[in-house]
Chains A and B, each alone.
Chain A
C-alpha cells in the first residue's frame, strides 16, 4: 500500500474502501447501541467556538472569522462535554475534529488533519470507571464487526482471530512509569516527563495481542483538563488505550479537573491563557460536575479492526497533514 492516497475516484471506487466504510458504519452503529443501552444520551457535536482543546504535540488550530471574533474549529469537544453534564449525567457525541498536525505526521500512517471521535463523558465517574466503559465499548464494536461482517474482513484479508484475545480477555493496565521502564528494556529512550513518543507507542503496541491501557501520565504531558491526582501530585488520573499489533493509540481519556481554581492553575501550567477560555470558565466558576471521559478515534479504531496500513484508508475523504486534496 502506497503511503499517500490514490486519486479520490480510485479510492472511493475501490472494493477495499467499500469494505472499510461498511465496517466503520458497523463500529459506529454498535458503539451507539452499546452506549444508549447504558443510558447515555447522544448530543450533536459543536463545530465552532471561541476556544477549543489546545491539544498537544504541536497541532495548529483552525481560525474562523465569527462576526469579527476569532473562533476555532473544534480540535475536540472536551469543554463542551464537561458543560453538557449540566443536562445529562452520561453523554456522548460522534464529533468531527480538525487539527493541523505538523507536516512530519504525514508519514506516521496514523494522523489525519480531519477525523472523528466518539466523545464520551460521565458525571461522577473516576478514571477507572471510564476505562471500564471504554473497554466494553471497544469490545462491543469489534464483536459486532466480527459477527456481522466477516465477508468484509475477508475482502481486506483481516483474520478475525486477531481479536480472539480482545474478545476473551480483560485489557491490561500499565502505568506510564512502567511503560517507560519497559521501553528502556527494549532499548528505546523515553523521556519520563513526557508523552510516550510515537515510536515508543508502536513498540509497546507491537508486543501486545490485545489492546491495553497506559495510565497515570506525568503532568506536563497532557492538557489542563486531565485531573492531577491529589494523592500523587505530578501524576494525572488519565489513560490511553493502545491497540495491539503496532496500531498504536486508539483512545485518550481522563478524570477531569472540574474545580475552577484548579482549571485556571492548570491552564497556566500548560502555557495557556485563561482569558481565552472565559466562556467555559464562567460556567466552571458556578460549578460543573466532577467527571471522567474519553475520546475514541473512529478512523484509528477502524484502521485497527480492518488491519489497514494507514489511517487514511479508513475515511472516504482523507485529509493527510500538509497534503491538499478533495
Chain B
C-alpha cells in the first residue's frame, strides 16, 4: 500500500496508520457503520489480524477437561441408582444469587445497544422466562434512551414502559419457583432511579413477593475495563443528554458523538457502602454486583461479598459489548480464566460472563470456581436466528453438552466440578483471603 508519493513501510502497520490519518478518532473504534447491529468482543488467543496482543494460554480457551480413569463417584451413583448412571442423571439445578435455576446459566445484560432493541431483547426475555433462567436487564436501557419531555414518544415514561415491558415479557413466561430478574444500575446513572421505578411498579410485585427480584450494581464491564458506559449518539441526542453525560469526541464525518460515563464505584468504602445502602433500601431484593476484570478483581469480589452481596458477577475481558475502542477490546483487562484463578471462593456465588455459548467453556468456568455462566451475545444471536425458539434450542444443546461433560468426569452435579478436572492445572496462586491484605 502506498500513498500519493509511493512511500511504503513494509513490516509496519502501514494500513492502520493510513486509516488513522484518514479517519482520525473514528479509527480508534470499530467501523461506525456497524454500530447498533454488531456485537463486539475480544477474541482471546486469536486476535484480529494486525492486533498486537492476545492472551495465549488462557485457561478457558486452551485448557482441557480431563476425566480420571478411576471414578469412585460413578460407583456410588451406580449403587444409588441400581443401574448404570447416565448423563441424564447429572443434577444441573443451581442457586444463582438467590434464584433457583434449572441450569448453571443465566442471561447476562445487554444495555442500550440498538442490537437489543427491535423486539430482540423482549424475545430473549420471553424465552429465558420459559426456561426459568435468571435474566439480567442492562443498566442503561432506561437512562440513555432517556427522559426528555414527559408525554412525548421518546420520553422516560415511554422507555420506562419499555423496561417494564421486558420484565413482563419474562415474568409472563416464568414457571413458579424458578428464575428471577436482576435489574442493573451503575453509579453514574443513579439519577435515572431505575431501581426505584422497578421497585414501585405494581407489575413487579409478584417477583418481589416471591424473592425473584435482584438489583445489580454495575461497577464496570469486561469489554472496556476502567471506562463507563459508551454509546454513539447523533448531534440532537447529544444535546438532550448533555445535562447528565459528558458528550464529547466527535467521531467520523457525520458528526456522531461519543457519550461516555465514568464508573463511579471507585473505592472499597464506596463499594461496601453502596451494597449496604442497597440492602437497607430494598430488603426484599437480592443484591448482585458486576465487576470488570481489573487487576484487583479478587479484592473487589471479597469486599462485595463481605458487604453482603448475594452474587458477584465477573465479566472477563472477552465479554461482549455494543461499543468499545479497539485498544480495549484487544488489550485491556484480565481474561476470565485469570480472574477465576485469582478469586478465592466467597460465601456467595461467583457468576461469570464472556464468550459463553457452549458447554465446554461453561464447564471449565465451573471447574475454576464459578457457580454459573451468563449468555450475552449468544442469547441475542440465538433469538435473532429464531425469536420464538432460538435461545431455547441453544440452551438445550448447551445443556446436553454439560451433562455429557460432567458425567464424563465421573460427577453427577454441576457443583462438583473442580480444578482437578482441568489440564493444565491452574497455578496455585490464589491468595488465601484478600480481605486481610492491605491494598497495594
Contacts and interface: CB of A to CB of B under 8 A. Distances in A.
Contacts of B193: 60-61
B191 A220 contact: no
A191 B280 contact: yes
A271 to B, nearest CB: 5
A271 B202 contact: no
A271 B273 CA distance: 8
A129 interface: no
B425 interface: no
A220 B243 contact: no
Contact of B280 (A104, A194, A322): A194
Interface in A31-63: 51, 54, 56-61, 63
Contacts of B151: 65
A269 B277 contact: yes
A279 B281 CA distance: 26
A58 B269 contact: no
A103 interface: yes
B435 interface: no
Given A59-B200, A273-B189, A276-B191, A220 B280 contact: yes
A269 B307 CA distance: 13
Nearest to B205: A103
B282 A268 contact: no
A68 interface: yes
A270 interface: yes
Interface residues on chain B, size class = 35 or more
A104 B270 CA distance: 29
A70 interface: yes
A100 interface: yes
A276 B244 contact: yes
Contacts of B280: 56-57, 191, 193-195, 220-221
Contacts of B281: 56-58, 195
Contacts of B258: none
A271 B278 contact: yes
B4 interface: no
Interface in B198-216: 199-200, 202, 205, 208
A58 B274 CA distance: 14
Contact of A58 (B156, B200, B202, B270): B200
A102 interface: yes
B189 A61 contact: no
Contacts of B274: 268-271
Interface of B is mostly: helix
A6 interface: no
Interface residues on chain A, size class = 35 or more
A268 B269 CA distance: 10
Contacts of B188: 273
A255 B222 CA distance: 41
B147 A70 contact: yes
Given A70-B147, A219-B273, A60 B244 contact: no
A191 B307 CA distance: 12
A193 B308 contact: yes
B75 interface: no
B150 interface: yes
A299 interface: no
B283 interface: yes
A58 B199 contact: yes
A271 B190 contact: yes
B243 A70 contact: yes
A201 interface: no
Contacts of B196: 58-61, 100
Contacts of A220: 272-273, 275-277, 279-280
Contacts of A273: 187-191, 244, 264
Contacts of A61: 193, 196
Contacts of A69: 243
Contacts of A270: 273-274, 277
Contacts of A64: 150
B256 to A, nearest CB: 23
Contact of B270 (A57, A59, A268): A268
Interface string B252-287: 000000000000111101101111111111110000
A316 B150 CA distance: 29
B200 A103 contact: yes
B35 interface: no
B283 A271 contact: no
Contacts of A103: 200, 202, 205
A273 B270 CA distance: 12
Interface string A238-256: 0000000000000000000
B190 A219 contact: no
A195 to B, nearest CB: 5
A68 B148 CA distance: 7
Contact of B244 (A68, A221, A269, A275): A275
Contact of B149 (A54, A57, A65, A193): A65
B195 interface: yes
B217 interface: yes
Interface in A270-284: 270-273, 275-276
Contacts of A271: 185, 187, 190, 217, 274, 277-278
Nearest to A101: B200
A322 B280 CA distance: 22
Nearest to A321: B200
A279 to B, nearest CB: 12
A218 B270 CA distance: 14
Nearest to A69: B243
A197 interface: yes
Given A193-B308, A194-B280, A273-B190, A268 B199 contact: no
Nearest to A277: B191
A60 B160 CA distance: 13
B197 interface: yes
Contact of A197 (B148, B190, B205, B283): B283
Interface in A90-114: 100-104
A60 B270 contact: no
A87 to B, nearest CB: 28
Nearest to B155: A65
Given A268-B274, A322-B202, 11 more contacts: A57-B282, A64-B150, A70-B243, A100-B196, A103-B202, A104-B208, A194-B276, A268-B266, A269-B277, A270-B273, A273-B264
17 contacts: A60-B197, A70-B243, A102-B199, A103-B200, A191-B279, A193-B279, A194-B276, A195-B280, A220-B272, A220-B277, A268-B264, A270-B277, A271-B187, A272-B191, A273-B188, A273-B190, A273-B264
Shortest 6 CB-CB contacts between residues of A and residues of B: A220-B276, A194-B280, A269-B273, A60-B196, A276-B191, A58-B199
Interface of A: 51, 54, 56-61, 63-65, 68-70, 100-104, 191, 193-195, 197, 218-221, 265, 268-273, 275-276, 321-322
